[in-house]
Amino acid sequence: MTAVQKRIFINKLALIFSTLSALIALAFLFWILGVLVMKGLSALNWNIFIYEGAPPGYEDSGLKHALVGQLILVGMATGVGVPFGILAGTYLSEYGKNSKLANTIRDISDIMMSAPSIVIGAFVYAIVVLPMGHFSAWAGAIALGIIMIPIILRTTDDMLQLVPGTLREAAFALGAPKYKVILSVVYRGAKAGILTGVLLGVARVAGETAPLLFTSFNDNFFTTDLNQAMPSLTVTMFNYATSPYEDWQQLGWAAAFILSMFILGLNIAGRLILLTRKKGK
């Protein structure tokens, strides 16, 4: 074999192996999605949205409690995470820039992003659940909000930095004070990017289970009392799927399906927003 033939052979080998690996990775993804869609769709029916949890064996059992609880928890977490995340990201990009403090915050936020979520759950358990004496929706929302902050902070920081400096200068050159430049020019320029960050942040926390086990815990009944334990799709799914009862397991599949579609939808929406923004340019 000549040197050139050898190189061509190695090239082909590398191509085959990398393509195969990609296909295998994708195969698992589609396998998971396929099983989820099959089992989930067959478990779906209107009762799920009408009835709350019931003991095994009851016909009128559903996931209303978990769906509403999930929306409340994620909604409240968004209320905590989005303002903090966006404001902190604004500080980094517009005020802190490359200062020592700003870069330290960036590093810490990157570490926080990869921190195991169960640790954050345990932390909130210690500072909120223990003093209150019981689980609560508040604690769950705070835990999810904390997980959300670094994601939104970094995307906001990155997206604001993509706004050209000359645009800021042009606004200053018209006599705009700094806060006006940020509010009326920089935020506008980064609107799509920030929104995407928020959607991805929401999608990330919507799938969290571990931090909720310590904080909002779970409940098999419908509740809107924020001072009490609150059911969520993820923890309900965990409980139902690991139970020995067939009908609960069915509900577990339905919960998994609904949750996955919700998160998938958020991710797709985020990507679409970025895509249309790029096309607009």
- Interacting residues with another protein (CB under 8 A): 164, 166-177, 180, 184-185, 188-189, 191, 280-281
Nearer to another protein, 39 or 180 (CB): 180
Nearer to another protein, 110 or 169 (CB): 169
Q: Is 82 exposed, middle or buried (0-12, 13-18, 19+ CB in 10 A)?
A: buried
Output the smallest distance, CB 281 to another protein, in A.
Answer: 7
Task: Cite the beta strand spans of 132-184 per DSSP E.
Answer: none
Nearer to another protein, 34 or 177 (CB): 177
CA distance 9 to 168: 54
Nearest to 136 by CA among 208, 67, 76, 63: 76
Nearer to another protein, 17 or 95 (CB): 95
Which structure tokens are listed for 68?
Answer: 């509403």
Nearer to another protein, 244 or 280 (CB): 280
Output the smallest distance, CB 105 to another protein, in A.
Answer: 19
CA distance 159 to 222: 40
Output the smallest distance, CB 194 to another protein, in A.
Answer: 13
Q: How many CB atoms lie within 10 A of CB 58?
A: 10
Nearer to another protein, 149 or 185 (CB): 185
Element (H, E) at 91: none
Output the smallest distance, CB 200 to another protein, in A.
Answer: 22
Nearer to another protein, 114 or 166 (CB): 166
Output the smallest distance, CB 32 to another protein, in A.
Answer: 40
CA distance 140 to 118: 12
Output the smallest distance, CB 278 to another protein, in A.
Answer: 13
CA distance 113 to 117: 9
Q: How many CB atoms lie within 10 A of CB 100?
A: 8
Residues ≥6 apart with Cβ < 8 Å to 105: 88, 91, 92, 96
Residues ≥6 apart with Cβ < 8 Å to 23: none
Output the smallest distance, CB 167 to another protein, in A.
Answer: 5
